[in-house]
Structure 1
Amino acid sequence: MTRVSGEPTTAAEARSGRTVAPGERGATRIADRVVAKIAAQAAREAIGALPPDAVPPHATVVVHHDLAHVRVGLELGYPCDIGAGCGAVRRQVARRVEELAGMSVPEVAVQVERLHSAQTPGAGRGRTR
């Protein structure tokens, strides 16, 4: 139906005699796994390029109402300022989830699972002779 200057657009609105604002007509739910994909991509953006054998960042998310609690696992280059790298990931993840999903992010836990040595490719992959 077409709305003409405040006229009801649905049969329910016509019966009740009131109009419902567009934002109040329904609900949008964003799945946890979608927010996790946003968070993982944001972590990739924050850490930059990784060696070819690196595992890309991954995230798990628990959403409660409009709050997203995020846990990110990632690998970093070595040597690096691990604290600064984790801080950059936290800020980027919180910013992108808020921008793209419209959720507040009170917590981003970052777990560094592995460090990559820039000097020796393949270091840390087991024993070498």
Structure 2
Amino acid sequence: MSTPRTTPPRVAAAERGATRIADRVVAKIAAQAAREALAARSGAGPADAAPPHATVTVHHDIARVRISLELDYPSDLAAQCAAVRERVADRVEAYAAMAVPEVDIDIEHLHAPPAGPATGRVRRLR
């Protein structure tokens, strides 16, 4: 004769374990958010620009983010950086459930508009 099975007591979800999100995953979230912010402000961003790169340091549930960008010039650099900061903080908080007290931005390169055709008088040499 077999003994009846007893089910173990139910453990609350918060007491079962922990979820850890790797720094590189948070960095990917931040880089994608920066890409989205730049695309929303300037169309697609500079055509020859490298995509934003993020490095993140996570301590408990607090993420400190550093984003490296390439931006168009001339343009409102401060407004672009503010849009990136806001979008990155919102996305990391929403997707990774981490507080983001600071988003540091390094502007690595500025892209000037392509040179147009020369205007004015053109002198031909024979």
Which segments of 5 or more consecutive residues in structure 2 lack a partner in the other structure? 1-5, 117-126
Confirm or deny that 1:65 pairs with 2:60: yes
SS in 2 for 1:53: coil
Aligned to 2:124: none
Aligned to 1:5: none
Confirm or deny that 1:47 pairs with 2:42: no
Deviation at 1:83, TM superposition (A): 0.8
Confirm or deny that 1:24 pairs with 2:19: no
> Which of the numbers 100, 103, 123 marks the counterpart of 1:108?
103
The structure-2 alpha-carbon separation of the partners of 1:119 and 1:67, relative to structure 1 and needing over 3 Å to count, comes to: same
SS in 1 for 2:20: coil
Deviation at 1:67, TM superposition (A): 0.1
Deviation at 1:92, TM superposition (A): 0.3
Aligned to 1:81: 76
Tell me the TM-score normalized by structure 1.
0.77
For residues 92-126 of structure 1, what are the alpha-carbon distances to aligned partners after superposition, in whole Å with 9 as ceiling and x for unaligned?
Answer: 000000010000000100011111112439xxxxx
Confirm or deny that 1:93 pairs with 2:84: no
Deviation at 1:54, TM superposition (A): 1.1
Rounded Cα–Cα distance in structure 2 between residues aligned with 1:9 and 1:41: 45
The structure-2 alpha-carbon separation of the partners of 1:9 and 1:64, relative to structure 1 and needing over 3 Å to count, comes to: farther
Which segments of 5 or more consecutive residues in structure 1 lack a partner in the other structure? 1-7, 14-18, 122-129
Identity, % of aligned positions: 64
Confirm or deny that 1:35 pairs with 2:26: yes
Number of aligned residues: 107
SS in 1 for 2:58: strand
What CA RMSD, in Å, does the superposition of the two structures yield over aligned residues? 1.7
The answer to whether the Cα contact below 8 Å between 2:46 and 2:71 also exists between their aligned partners in 1 is no
Rounded Cα–Cα distance in structure 2 between residues aligned with 1:111 and 1:53: 18
